[in-house]
């Protein structure tokens, strides 16, 4: 804890400092004075060390190197933030709920959950956002911008995370593993749905008879049994269906055909309803 006296006070904002030199530098915020210009591009700075850091952009100098992963950084602050990825240190804590964060910027965004503040507003549709990254992704829905392109097939995406998921179609990578049975998945959302089969958790209940299901699509199919007869019967298992489409989809369980494809990332699904649920992942990321 620093208990030093702070006798030098800014009359503009009331902030106090231990030294007069600190106060003089601080006052430049209010006056707009930036006495340290970059000779390369003309940009000016309030502090000399900020100019020195900026000049590394032009020189390409990266003096801070991580000993663990060998990544190099231009700024000391960026380097220190990077190191927390390895150490797991989370020095920034929310005073409301005690949740901790590795980065101050993440804490700032988190605080808006409690305050309800949404400072980023879309001029196109009026929707507001609490963090700048979600706002930026949302704006691409209006502009149609898709800056992330797959080098394998040329398809473009509006988010890097969606591109990452898409690329697993080409690589075959399935990084999410079920600890119960060892089955692998390309998306975390698909793993979560799968895990319900082990936990026995059935969150979707039929209002007619109370029967519960692990997936919403299974409940939807089941509910048809209360409203109609079952004209179509599966020769493999004997289950009856009230409509042709779910009956056809059910038969594909035995052929392993997956006719429904996501246009965003290319992943394929057996059921059209599963494709609909999957698309919500992309829409929630975009908004």
End-to-end CA distance of the chain: 42
- What pLDDT was estimated at residue 40? 86
- What pLDDT was estimated at residue 100? 93
Distance, in Å, from the CA atom of 163 to the CA atom of 58, rounded to the nearest integer, reads 30
Mean pLDDT value across the chain: 82
Place of tokens 């009856």: 240
Distance, in Å, from the CA atom of 111 to the CA atom of 118, rounded to the nearest integer, reads 11
Structure tokens at 60: 């390409």
How big is the CA angle at 228 (ends 224 and 232), to the nearest 5 degrees?
Answer: 85
Distance, in Å, from the CA atom of 162 to the CA atom of 160, rounded to the nearest integer, reads 5
Average pLDDT over residues 115-142: 92
> Given 3-state DSSP classes, what are the helix, strand and coil percentages for the chain, each rounded to the nearest 5?
45, 15, 45
Average pLDDT over residues 39-58: 87
The CB density around residue 158, as the number of other CB atoms within 10 Å, is 22
Q: Range with the lowest mean pLDDT among 75-84, 103-112, 152-161, 262-271?
A: 262-271
Q: Range with the lowest mean pLDDT among 124-138, 161-175, 187-201, 237-251?
A: 237-251
- For residue 10, the cross-strand partners are none
b vs e for 201-223, b when ≥16 Cβ sit within 10 Å of the residue's Cβ? eeeeeeeeeeeebbbebbbebbb
With a cut of 70, say whether residue 61 has pLDDT above it: yes
The CATH homologous superfamily to which domain 167-286 belongs is Classic Zinc Finger (3.30.160.60)
With a cut of 80, say whether residue 147 has pLDDT above it: yes
Distance, in Å, from the CA atom of 224 to the CA atom of 241, rounded to the nearest integer, reads 8
CATH code 3.30.160.60 region(s) in the chain: 8-72, 92-143, 167-286
- What pLDDT was estimated at residue 221? 73
Contact 189, 282 (CB under 8 A): no
- What pLDDT was estimated at residue 149? 92
Distance, in Å, from the CA atom of 145 to the CA atom of 152, rounded to the nearest integer, reads 19
Q: How much is the pTM? A: 0.49
Cα dihedral 169, 216, 195, 236, rounded to 10, equals -80
- What pLDDT was estimated at residue 219? 80
Q: Which CATH number fits domain 8-72: 3.40.50.2000, 3.30.160.60, 3.40.1030.10, 3.30.420.40?
A: 3.30.160.60
Q: Which residue has the higher pLDDT, 153 or 244?
A: 153
Distance, in Å, from the CA atom of 163 to the CA atom of 25, rounded to the nearest integer, reads 44
The three-state DSSP-derived secondary structure of 12-53 is CCCCEECCHHHHHHHHHHHHCCCCEECCCCCCEECCHHHHHH
The CATH homologous superfamily to which domain 92-143 belongs is Classic Zinc Finger (3.30.160.60)
């Amino acid at each position: 804890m620093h208990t030093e006296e702070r006798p030098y006070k800014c009359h503009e904002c009331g902030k106090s400092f231990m030294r007069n030199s600190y106060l003089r530098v601080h006052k430049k915020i209010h006056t707009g004075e930036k006495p340290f210009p970059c000779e390369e591009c003309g940009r000016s700075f309030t502090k000399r060390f900020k100019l020195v850091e900026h000049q590394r952009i032009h020189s390409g100098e990266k003096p801070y190197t991580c000993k663990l992963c060998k990544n190099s950084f231009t700024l000391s602050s960026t380097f220190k933030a990077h190191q927390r990825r390895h150490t797991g240190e989370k020095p920034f804590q929310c005073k409301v709920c005690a949740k901790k964060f590795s980065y101050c910027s993440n804490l700032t965004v988190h605080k808006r959950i409690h305050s309800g503040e949404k400072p980023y507003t879309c001029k196109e549709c009026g929707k507001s956002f609490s963090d700048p990254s979600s706002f930026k992704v949302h704006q691409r829905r209006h502009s149609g911008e898709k800056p992330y392109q797959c080098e394998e097939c040329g398809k473009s995406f509006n988010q890097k995370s969606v591109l990452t998921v898409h690329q697993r179609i080409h690589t075959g990578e399935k990084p999410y593993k079920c600890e119960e049975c060892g089955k692998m998945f390309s998306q975390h959302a698909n793993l979560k749905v799968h895990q319900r089969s082990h936990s026995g958790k059935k969150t979707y209940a039929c209002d007619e008879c109370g029967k519960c299901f692990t997936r919403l699509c299974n409940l939807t199919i089941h509910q048809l049994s209360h409203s109609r007869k079952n004209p179509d019967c599966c020769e493999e298992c004997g289950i009856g269906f009230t409509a042709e489409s779910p009956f056809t989809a059910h038969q594909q369980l035995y052929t392993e055909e997956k006719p429904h494809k996501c246009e965003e990332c290319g992943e394929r699904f057996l059921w059209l309803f599963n494709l609909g649920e999957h698309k919500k992942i992309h829409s929630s990321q975009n908004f």
